[in-house]
Amino acid sequence: MSLAIEQPVTNADRTFFQLRKDIVEGDIPAGAKLSETELSTKYAVSRAVIREAINRLMSCHLVERRANVGARVVSLTPEGLVELYQVRESLEGMAARLAAKNMSDSEISDLQGLLNRHFDKVKTGESYYQEAGDVDFHYRIILGSKNQHLIAVLVDGLYHLVRMYRVQLGMAGPRVTTAFDEHKHIVQAIANRDEELAEILMRRHILYSKNNIENKLTSHPNK
């Protein structure tokens, strides 16, 4: 694979990663209270470690804390999902623009290679594209922007929330082949160094994705 994975070094790191995983994947349900004492026994570390982990989870907007009361996992709402995608549209649009300007030729080649491999899979029908491939595609463009703030806000912050929504509202959905075409056009624009078009296409891509999800949520309001 390609993405340098974050390496835990301290106990608080490990606990933070574990907690984040448990929250994103729903093992700790949305809206649940995070009792420090309870978690410290569950993960076999001191409360100080748990508190540090919770502090970092707050930075990701995965939990909210009220002083002297405690921390809760955020609740997922349709409105929250819409707001999240609005921010993604804005930031990833800018990321695509900057990627068209700042990615090296070899990075762009790699990106095209990634897309071709995806195409083979989509063609042969094994289209469990979304979870791995889609995220990988977006990550590369975000990193390609070479903008540290952009990268930090998206990768360390919002993307875990995106994943939490995806996992818990169960969206592996279709949109596979159409999304693939959109990805292809975005890469084309980046390869042409057309900043303006790259941004527009990425914004549309995310907007479509948002509309797609909204439709599913409103047509199947249950679950």
Q: Is 170 left (phi over 0), alpha (psi -120 to 50) or beta?
A: left
Binding mask 136-155 for a second copy (x = CB under 8 A): -----------xxxx-xx--
Residue 210 near residue 82, CB atoms below 8 Å: yes
Q: What whole-number distance in Å separates Cα of residue 43 and Cα of residue 1?
A: 30
Residues within the interface to DNA (CB under 7 A) = 10-12, 33-38, 45-49, 51-52, 65, 67-71
Indicate the SS3 state at residue 51: helix
Minimal distance in Å, beta carbon 6 to DNA?
Answer: 15
> Which residues from 197-216 bind a second copy, rule CB under 8 A?
none
Nearest to 47 by CA among 24, 20, 70, 30: 70
* Residue 31 touching a second copy (CB under 8 A): no
Residue 86 site contact among DNA, a second copy, none (CB < 5 to 8 Å, cut-off depends on kind): a second copy
Tell the smallest beta-carbon distance from residue 171 to a second copy (Å): 19
Under the criterion CB under 8 A, does residue 91 sit at the interface with a second copy?
yes
Alpha carbons 60 and 153: distance in angstroms, whole number:
9
User: The tokens 């026994």 sit on which residue?
Assistant: 41
How far is Cα of residue 26 from the mean position of the Cα atoms in its chain?
A: 15
Which candidate, 77, 76, 58, places its Cα nearest to that of 67? 58
Q: How far is the CB of 68 from DNA (least distance, A)?
A: 4
* Residue in 30, 32, 58, 191 binding a second copy, rule: CB under 8 A: 58
Which residues of the shown chain bind a second copy in the complex (CB under 8 A)? 9-10, 13, 48, 51-52, 55-56, 58-59, 61, 67-68, 80, 83-84, 86-87, 89-91, 93-94, 98, 147-150, 152-153, 157-158
